[in-house]
Amino acid sequence: MLSGTKIAIKDERGITALFVAFLILPLFYLLFVFSSDVGNYYYVRRNNQRILDSAVLFGEKYLPYAEAAHSAVESYLKSQSVDEGSQIRVTATADGVTAEYLTHMPLTFAGLLGVEQQIPIYVKSSSFSTPLDVFLFVDTSSYMSPDLFNGQSWSENYSTQEDAMISSVFADYRYGVDDQIALPDLQVAAEQCQNPVFRQHKLAAIQTYEYLQGFGMNRLGLRFYPVSATEPDVRTLSYSTGSSSLELRRGDGQHIRNFDCQLLGQREEALTNDFDERRFVPPGVRVDIGSPEDEDALSMREVIWYQAARHQNVETDALLVSDIQTLSDTVAVKLLAEKDTLTKRGSLTAKAPKVAFIFAGDVPWSNGMRMIDSSGNVRASVRQEVVAALTTLKTHAVNANGSLSVFYILHAHRGNSSVLSSSGSTDDNVELALGITALQGVFAEVNALQVEGADDKEGDLELKLIASSDPSILVSDTAAYLGQIKKKALLSESASTGANSLTAGGGS
């Protein structure tokens, strides 16, 4: 009896072993393969999403140039060894980049069942830059050109043809009581429109303006200074899409009119087709030969290019230079008083960052006095007024709950030095270097200042000084800092909903 029981137990153990070997173990194996497929699916999807997110953020750096952004995304994906059999679609506009990525993963579990099955993995990523409210202030003070009445030419030698062209514009020019006084040097008169310094200064402003204009959802404004508060803006703060008719205005206290600068461009257009030799025609612009008063179709590039230096006030003979209090008040009025929600511009944030670009030709002035004297010493009274003006601006920003960034872009040149070398170089301009250091100290002081009541509000002011004698450096540094302000919004999507449309639409 005991022997029979032992045999039964052995039989049961054998059956159990066979059950485990032929049923449980394969089932566990299938579950393992299935879970591996699931884990692999989520791993591949996360990895594809990471690559795509990085690609669109890389492409976003090239905005507002849509074609360059499109190429940058594709190049980045190739560098990450994205499967050539995958389907990719890239869409780029001036304000954002979107990329879609569809690939297929074979299922090992299905293969074990004798079925060749692949599952689609679709990911999508979009990057958008935040629209800005930007106002550009371009310095056209007297120090942007040689002294109209006692100065010497800043330019290289003029050709005989150019001298004749300049003479045709200014030979009959008169000023003073009853317009009896002729201009002493016609070349210097022409350099109130264009000279090596003023030309590069304007070009830096043009390049920055056109870069910002490329973003369709930015709002842009532009104003020259020094002018009276009643003089209208060249462009009021408005969307950068489309174009509008612009006009040249004489400007307060100008001896040489903006129309004279336009006339020089028209005469030069008729004189030569050699773009490399032109001084007075805006770069990249074909000028219509017509009346200088016919300004209806001027581009912003032309309006900036044809600005004449405001040499001195016609009525008072006082030099026309920037005034920091007037300038800071104008920044507050033009930017902080403007109310506009970003939701209607397609942004995820509620308020537009406010940015002022001041293309300055010198350190700040106040009440006709420069912040530094001819020896590089800081005038304490002027420094105090500069600090007071910027502190008031910061208070306005805090009370308006607005984020305001002010870039003081200082073009170091021969006109903003009281002590020049014989060649007019600014390399040994210790005076200006001391002024730049002093201004950096002012900006640091105001940036660190705590405005009363600021703890309960989101508004703030950030001052940034960019100074160089090379305008190309000014432009590149400005664009770099601007990239830090333009916050990026990244939207990621991993789903199967877009797979069908990508398959139907094809690749990029």
DSSP collapsed to 3 states, 96-159: EEEEEEEEEEECHHHHHCCCCCEEEEEEEEEEEECCCEEEEEEECCHHHCCCCCCCCCCCCCCC
- Asked whether residue 414 carries a pLDDT value surpassing 70, the answer given is yes
Q: Give pLDDT tens digits for 244-291.
A: 456 666 554 567 888 889 888 888 877 765 555 678 888 776 555 444
Q: Provide the pLDDT for residue 139.
A: 92
Give yes or no for a cis peptide into 283 (omega within 30° of 0). no
Residue from 134, 294, 296, 150 nearest 217 by CA: 134
C-alpha–C-alpha distance, residues 181 and 174, integer Å: 5
What's this model's pTM, rounded to 2 decimal places? 0.81
Q: Give pLDDT tens digits for 129-185.
A: 888 899 999 999 888 888 888 888 888 678 888 888 889 888 888 776 666 777 888
Task: Count Cα neighbours of 238 within 13 Å in the Cβ-side half-sphere.
Answer: 9
- DSSP assignment letter at 319: B
User: C-alpha angle with apex 454: 450 to 459, nearest 5 degrees?
Assistant: 105
- Asked whether residue 431 carries a pLDDT value surpassing 80, the answer given is no
| C-beta of residue 358 within 8 angstroms of C-beta of residue 139 | yes
Residue whose entry in the numeric block shows the structure tokens 């007019």: 424
Residue from 200, 313, 182 nearest 253 by CA: 313
Buried b (16+ CB within 10 A) or exposed e, 74-113: bebbeeeebeeeebbbbebbbbbbbbbbbbbbebebbeee
Q: Provide the pLDDT for residue 124.
A: 92
268 three-class SS? helix
Domain ranges of the chain: 2-129+492-505, 133-486
Q: Provide the pLDDT for residue 113.
A: 58
Residue from 179, 49, 60, 235 nearest 130 by CA: 60
Rounded mean pLDDT of 469-495? 75
Residue from 449, 146, 455 nearest 308 by CA: 146
Counted residue by residue, the chain has a size of: 508
- Give percent above pLDDT 70 in the chain: 69
Residue from 7, 97, 106, 99 nearest 50 by CA: 99
Report in angstroms the alpha-carbon separations of 487 from 340, 345, 347, 482. Answer: 18, 15, 10, 10
The residues pairing with 238 across neighbouring beta strands, listed in sequence order, are: 220
- Asked whether residue 309 carries a pLDDT value surpassing 70, the answer given is yes
Dihedral angle at the C-alpha atoms of 140, 141, 144, 148, nearest 10 degrees? 110
Rounded mean pLDDT of 466-483? 85
Mean pLDDT, the chain, as a whole number? 77
- Give percent above pLDDT 90 in the chain: 21
- Asked whether residue 106 carries a pLDDT value surpassing 70, the answer given is yes
| C-beta of residue 217 within 8 angstroms of C-beta of residue 349 | no
Q: Give pLDDT tens digits for 333-343.
A: 888 876 665 55
| C-beta of residue 72 within 8 angstroms of C-beta of residue 83 | no
